[in-house]
Structure 1
Amino acid sequence: MATSISFAGLSCFLLSLCLVCSVKEGYAFEELRESHAESYLTHTFEVSSLFASSICNHSTKANERESTFIVVDKYGPCFQPNQQRSVVSPSLTDIIRSDRARIYSIHHSRLSKSSGRRDHIVEPNSLSIPVKDGSAFSTSNYLVTVGLGTPKKDLSLVLDTGSDLTWTQCQPCTRCYKQTEPLFDRTQSSTYVNISKTDSVCAYVQRPGTVPPGAETLCFYGIAYGDGSISLGFFSKETLTMSAAEKINSFLFGCGTDNRGEFDLEAGILGLSQESASIVFQTAAKYNKIFSYCIPSSASSTGHLTFGSQTPAPANIIYTKLVAQKSPSYGLDLIGIGLGGTKLNISESVFTTPGTIIDSGTVFTYLPPNAYPTFRDAFRAAMTAYPLTTGRPDDDLDTCYDLSKTSSVKVPEISFFFKDGKVVGMPGKSSLVTYSKTNSQVCLGFAPYEAGDDEIIIGNQVQRTMEVVYDVAGQRIGFALNGCT
Structure 2
Amino acid sequence: MASGIPSLLFCLLLAAPHLGSSYHTNGGKHFVVRSSDSRSPSTCSPVPGDGGRLPVMHRLSPCAPASGAGAGSGQSMPSISDALRLRALFGDSGDYKKSGVTIPSIGTPLQSLPGASEYHVTVGYGTPVQRLAVGFDTATVGATLLRCEPCAGSRCGKKHLFDPSRSSSLAQIPCGSRNCPLSDCSGPSCTATLKKKGAVVLNATFVTDTLTVSRSVAVDDFRFVCLETRGASTEGRSSGVLDLSRDPHSLASRVVLSPDTVAFSYCLPSAFPYSAGFLSFGATRPNIVSYATLKSKASHPNLYFLRLVGVSVGAVDIPVPPQALAGDALMELHTTFTYLQPKVYAALRDQFRGWMGQYPVAPPYGELDTCYNFTGQSSVGVPAVELTFEGGAGLEPGVQQTMYFKDRGNIFSVGCLAFAPVPPHARGITVIGSLAQATTEVVYDLRGGKVGFVTKSCL
- TM-score, structure 1 normalization: 0.77
Letter in 2 for 1:335: V
1:313-352 equivalence runs, <5 A: 313-315=286-288, 317-325=289-297, 326-352=300-326
RMSD: 3.2
CA-CA distance at 1:263 after TM superposition: 3.0
Determine if the alignment matches structure 1 residue 187 to structure 2 residue 187.
Answer: no
Q: Could you say what secondary structure the match of 1:104 adopts?
A: helix
1:410-425 equivalence runs, <5 A: 410-425=381-396
Letter in 1 for 2:139: G
Q: Alpha-carbon deviations, 1:360-392, whole Å to 9, x = none?
A: 111000011122121111112122332221x33
Letter in 2 for 1:338: S
Q: 1:121 aligns with which of 70, 88, 97?
A: 97
CA contact (8 A) 1:180 1:265 kept: no
CA contact (8 A) 1:169 1:176 kept: no
Q: Could you say what secondary structure the match of 1:266 adopts?
A: coil
Compare the two structures and name the one with the higher helix fraction.
1
CA contact (8 A) 2:246 2:301 kept: yes
Letter in 2 for 1:344: I
Determine if the alignment matches structure 1 residue 56 to structure 2 residue 36.
Answer: no
1:365-380 equivalence runs, <5 A: 365-380=338-353
Structure 1: state its 5+ residue gaps: 1-37, 113-117, 225-229
Determine if the alignment matches structure 1 residue 66 to structure 2 residue 51.
Answer: yes
Structure 2 equivalent of residue 384 of structure 1 = 357
CA contact (8 A) 2:28 2:315 kept: yes
Q: 1:200 aligns with which of 178, 194, 198?
A: 178
For the residues of structure 2 that align with 1:106 and 1:418, how far apart are their CA atoms?
22
Q: Could you say what secondary structure the match of 2:388 adopts?
A: strand
Aligned residues: 419
1:117-156 equivalence runs, <5 A: 121=97, 128=104, 130-132=106-108, 135=112, 140-156=117-133
Moved more, 38-47 or 429-438: 38-47
Q: 1:42 aligns with which of 29, 46, 52?
A: 29
Determine if the alignment matches structure 1 residue 172 to structure 2 residue 150.
Answer: yes
CA contact (8 A) 1:170 1:183 kept: yes
Q: Alpha-carbon deviations, 1:164-223, whole Å to 9, x = none?
A: 311211112356953473411101111111111233211xx335x466xxxx11112468
Structure 2 equivalent of residue 25 of structure 1 = none
Structure 2 equivalent of residue 106 of structure 1 = 89
For the residues of structure 1 that align with 2:418 and 2:311, how far apart are their CA atoms?
14
Q: Could you say what secondary structure the match of 2:361 adopts?
A: coil
Letter in 1 for 2:389: F
Letter in 1 for 2:293: K
For the residues of structure 2 that align with 1:91 and 1:465, how far apart are their CA atoms?
22
Q: Alpha-carbon deviations, 1:129-185, whole Å to 9, x = none?
A: 542498376653101111111111111111211123112111123569534734111
CA contact (8 A) 2:309 2:390 kept: yes
Structure 2: state its 5+ residue gaps: 1-24, 196-200
Q: Alpha-carbon deviations, 1:264-310, whole Å to 9, x = none?
A: 21111111111112111123458976100000012321100000132
Determine if the alignment matches structure 1 residue 436 to structure 2 residue 413.
Answer: no
Structure 1 equivalent of residue 17 of structure 2 = none
Structure 2 equivalent of residue 357 of structure 1 = 330
Structure 2 equivalent of residue 478 of structure 1 = 452
Determine if the alignment matches structure 1 residue 293 to structure 2 residue 266.
Answer: yes
1:264-303 equivalence runs, <5 A: 264-284=236-256, 290-298=263-271, 299-303=273-277
Q: Could you say what secondary structure the match of 2:60 adopts?
A: coil
Structure 2 equivalent of residue 34 of structure 1 = none
Residues 76 and 423 of structure 1: is their aligned pair in 2 closer, same or farther, counting only changes over 3 Å?
closer
For the residues of structure 2 that align with 1:456 and 1:137, how far apart are their CA atoms?
25
CA contact (8 A) 1:293 1:303 kept: yes
For the residues of structure 1 that align with 2:338 and 2:191, how far apart are their CA atoms?
35
For the residues of structure 2 that align with 1:180 and 1:431, how far apart are their CA atoms?
39
Q: Could you say what secondary structure the match of 1:324 adopts?
A: coil
Residues 445 and 262 of structure 1: is their aligned pair in 2 closer, same or farther, counting only changes over 3 Å?
farther
Moved more, 465-474 or 129-138: 129-138
Q: Could you say what secondary structure the match of 2:128 adopts?
A: coil
CA contact (8 A) 1:362 1:459 kept: yes
Moved more, 168-177 or 358-367: 168-177
Moved more, 400-409 or 365-374: 400-409
CA-CA distance at 1:451 after TM superposition: 1.6
Letter in 2 for 1:321: T
Residues 175 and 282 of structure 1: is their aligned pair in 2 closer, same or farther, counting only changes over 3 Å?
farther
Q: Could you say what secondary structure the match of 1:357 adopts?
A: strand
CA contact (8 A) 1:314 1:467 kept: no
Letter in 1 for 2:403: L
Q: 1:459 aligns with which of 433, 447, 455?
A: 433
Letter in 1 for 2:88: S
